[in-house]
Structure 1
């Protein structure tokens, strides 16, 4: 049995700080999007079976258009 240990020194350079800043902004935007009630509704509908969606008059490829229909015009 072999064990391998890798120690990577923490990067503290200028570019590391900038990338950390933008990563934090990106993570914040993802959390905002995930907490949107429409995104949660789309996830709930996506978790249903095809038969359950059919009872609601939807197809799987129509979920996003159905949930966001008031937000955009196509």
Structure 2
């Protein structure tokens, strides 16, 4: 299980993108609970270079969409 201290591994830029992602989903989503389970993957992808992300077929601004693609269709 992820520790609450792991929130510190998210960069301010990634936290801002996550906030925007969940804001577009509207009410009815417990963003904290959903995000907490995927902190490791979010941080791992955010640490990659733009070239590495492109090899996965995503751009940096689409990391949240990629990580939560199985839960939300955005």
TM-score, reference length from structure 2: 0.48
More relative contact order, 1 or 2 (CA 8 Å, 6+ apart): 2
Larger-gyration structure (1/2): 1
TM-score, reference length from structure 1: 0.48
Higher helix share: 2
